[in-house]
Amino acid sequence: MAAAPADHTILAVDDEPDLLEAIRRILTRRGYAVLPAGDADSALEVCRTHHGRIDLLLTDVRMPGTGGHELAAAARRVRPGLAVLYLSGLADRHGNGDFDAPVLGKPFTPTTLAEAVDAALAG
């Protein structure tokens, strides 16, 4: 049996504040603990300083500065075994072949976000 959402902590990273807040609200309502970060540097700081578990990195692929792929690699060095779920407005153009983890295309609904997070956590 899978763990309840409340047993999971998600580090959500997006440079669009309104989208990041929507993600936080959706996943919090679902019972997840959510650590929001507006960029890769902030996310890495959370990875280094958060004393609890972080089960999933939910990150936009394209952000100013360090993008999602680079962030995921750096975060996994700090927290080996960290699951990753990418968000991309270009997912339908590229497919999932260019990614080392699942990709959820933007725009998404609350239901498709929750389903993608559940699937990424299930491994």
pLDDT of residue 98: 56
Q: Band of the pLDDT at 5, cuts 50, 70, 90?
A: low
pTM of the entire predicted model: 0.89
- Write the CATH number for 27: 3.40.50.2300
Digit-coded pLDDT (tens) for 7-58: 899 999 999 999 999 999 999 999 999 999 999 999 999 999 999 999 999 9
CA distance 57 to 9: 9
Q: Is the model's pLDDT at 76 over the cut of 90?
A: yes
CB atoms within 10 A of CB 121: 18
Percent of the chain, pLDDT > 90? Answer: 71
Contact status, residue 10 vs residue 16, Cβ threshold 8 Å: no
Into how many domains does the chain fold?
Answer: 1
Digit-coded pLDDT (tens) for 40-53: 999 999 999 999 99
Percent of the chain, pLDDT > 70? Answer: 86
Q: Is the model's pLDDT at 97 over the cut of 50?
A: no
Provide the residue range defining the domain that includes 20.
5-122
Phi first, then psi, for residue 104 (nearest 5°) are -110, 120
Mean pLDDT of all residues belonging to the chain: 88
